[in-house]
Structure 1
């Protein structure tokens, strides 16, 4: 670990710890803005559920600083101006005690600026675009093990281990116009280019795109060995796959960002059997043995009738980081909370987390692939859930 980081890992179990120096009879209010309506509503709702499960678990164990926690959640409709006004309202009018982040890089980029101006701690569950962390912010933290720049790492490392004759020679790069996916795909192109993979197609489409026929036709004409798709939701992830089926083009390999981790909606969006063979990177898995992970999966599943996905887990992890800082600092002093997180490492359902001075995590994402209707972990070795990945993607069903 970096010398400025304490060697001790702090557990984020919901049991009370730390010295309580503040007491109050009222709840600790935590302000959040989420796109509960709009084009990514279905993807953001699990994040809301993850926050709610976290708050309920904290309150069952006595809350924070002897007070219950209460979420105040506003809807931003996936609009950048609205998310700014929401966080301004939460801070200035509602006078919330703490903040938690919103969904996606697109929204966290402006929202984090509001928090920084107010000098309030801002832990974001998603939004790993590099530009978020280049502004010298002191109160910003990302609650995943890696950022957008890390998305290609596991996949490219796996390709590098293959014999040269088995690696893809050409690739296509369609992506939604989103800060997170665009950064990830630029890094894919750089890393794969260094492996000698030639870019034969690139295209950026708008978030409200529903017709992928033109993109699929162009990809079919380019006939790449590998398609790397910057997908944000199951809608655009499934939309492109269905369009590729229409044009009867089945790439040898396919990687999609984010969408394949939406386990409740993705298989239906792509069609039965069509998820198999598709790679993605995930920050979390229900099947790892990290601290409190099994309990989180059980509580969430019982509450919502389905297992949590990446977005739900990332929100829960953000809450874990917030609670751990408050308990160990023993107050709601925002500067002290940020300083504590910069100086300490914690254990979460996503594994160990520690941050550099920008709030960027020092860790790695998991490489995953759909096999036999399940999202399996391919790497790292100590977390893998299957013996080996599928090299050639099965044909569309």
Structure 2
């Protein structure tokens, strides 16, 4: 009996040893299984907005569009995070930079080094984005750049930036140059703001015109803070142009068009950028649709409807939901903010980790594969947007008295 018990215990021991060995082998082969981090309680998205100052009219609707996206995903239980195979609520951390690049520098730094946000999103435009680019690169933090399109932001050695909702500004004038050349404009006058956004457009436009044998009769830069264009218009008129191109921000466009309206100058073609993005703002400044009739611009959603959407809400769905959620009509900047959220959503749903380079690799993996209400999202290897291109259109007054836009160059998805 004693020997039988010993044999029984020995048998049990022999049976146990392989199981212990297998457990140890599994642990050695896959140590992450024991020490894998738990999912965070929230995904923190850090951004800035301009609650006042010269960029507020563009920054606030863009910020509202991003907040709309956060509310949408949180109402569904959160954004799906592939790294943890579950939905996680999104928490917004935001600060008011008051349209000041200096203030923005300090606040971007706070988001990165104090708040330690998971996702960093830039404020509107190139001026307020320009200070975020070197900070993000220095801290190895991927910057989701919404509408800062300056060509100088993108370089082969910086993987920490992705432009989400507009093509890099060096590509914008492709359609404008095409129209000027094809419509036979020979005497083109260009005034541009001396910032990354507008200078890169001027460079592209002048290069393409000269390649077609068209030397601008006027091509001068002015400070972004310029608010009086009376003397500039007088100088332009002296060159007798058949097309006048003003490249600036909304406040510049408004000041330029007000000066033109007050003058006795009339030109066959006048082009400015932001009426196509913020038509309600410009209608309110120029007496409704009739005050903008004949003006050329880059039309953008909602003026521009891109029907081939395979990710996120369609334009009609977005306009209805945004109006219901915010009580405000959508404009392009609210579309841009929502579109940034969609890019973040796809990134988190694709990436296998929340490491910043892991997020960047995820973005590259779906580049060219998703089409939103803003167009086909496609970046180059530097993170610059090369999809979502903008055509040229001309405003007119519809039969119902509303502002309409007629495309004069083809629309690409």
Match of 1:395 in 2: none
Offset of 1:48 from its aligned partner? Answer: 0.8
Pair 1:141-2:162 in alignment: yes
Contact 2:146–2:166 (8 Å) recurs in 1 = no
Rounded to whole Å, the distance in 1 between the matches of 2:156 and 2:126 is: 14
Offset of 1:299 from its aligned partner? Answer: 1.4
Per-residue CA distance 1:67-105 (angstroms, 9 max, x = gap): 211211111222222222111101111121211121111
What SS does the aligned partner of 2:129 have?
helix
Contact 1:126–1:314 (8 Å) recurs in 2 = yes
Pair 1:204-2:221 in alignment: yes
Pair 1:302-2:353 in alignment: no
Match of 2:410 in 1: 380
What SS does the aligned partner of 1:173 have?
strand
Match of 1:386 in 2: none
Greater RCO (CA < 8 Å, at least 6 residues apart)? 1
Per-residue CA distance 1:208-252 (angstroms, 9 max, x = gap): 33222212222222221111101211x321211121122211211
Rounded to whole Å, the distance in 1 between the matches of 2:375 and 2:37 is: 30
Gaps of 5+ in 2: 1-35, 82-86, 398-402
Counterpart of 2:242 (choices 222, 225, 229) is: 225
Counterpart of 2:139 (choices 109, 118, 135) is: 118
Match of 1:33 in 2: 48
Larger radius of gyration: 2
Offset of 1:34 from its aligned partner? Answer: 2.2
Distance 1:305 1:123, change over 3 A: same
Contact 2:50–2:99 (8 Å) recurs in 1 = yes
Contact 1:35–1:77 (8 Å) recurs in 2 = yes
Offset of 1:156 from its aligned partner? Answer: 2.2
Match of 1:278 in 2: 295
Distance 1:199 1:161, change over 3 A: closer
Rounded to whole Å, the distance in 1 between the matches of 2:326 and 2:47 is: 20
What SS does the aligned partner of 1:189 have?
helix
Offset of 1:258 from its aligned partner? Answer: 2.8
Matches within 5 A, 1:1-80: 24=39, 26-64=41-79, 65=81, 66-80=87-101
Rounded to whole Å, the distance in 1 between the matches of 2:326 and 2:99 is: 24
Rounded to whole Å, the distance in 2 between the matches of 1:100 and 1:197 is: 40
Pair 1:193-2:210 in alignment: yes
Normalising to structure 1: TM-score of the pair?
Answer: 0.83
Distance 1:219 1:269, change over 3 A: farther
Offset of 1:53 from its aligned partner? Answer: 0.9
Distance 1:197 1:22, change over 3 A: farther
Aligned length: 358
What SS does the aligned partner of 1:222 have?
coil
Match of 2:307 in 1: 289
Rounded to whole Å, the distance in 2 between the matches of 1:197 and 1:188 is: 11
Rounded to whole Å, the distance in 1 between the matches of 2:74 and 2:410 is: 35
Match of 2:173 in 1: 152
Rounded to whole Å, the distance in 1 between the matches of 2:140 and 2:323 is: 36
Distance 1:136 1:28, change over 3 A: same
Contact 2:149–2:169 (8 Å) recurs in 1 = yes
Offset of 1:39 from its aligned partner? Answer: 1.3
Rounded to whole Å, the distance in 2 between the matches of 1:83 and 1:156 is: 34
Rounded to whole Å, the distance in 2 between the matches of 1:22 and 1:145 is: 36
RMSD: 2.2
Matches within 5 A, 1:96-135: 96-134=117-155
Which structure dedicates a bigger proportion of its chain to helix? 2
Rounded to whole Å, the distance in 2 between the matches of 1:22 and 1:58 is: 24
Deviation larger for 208-217 or 298-307: 298-307
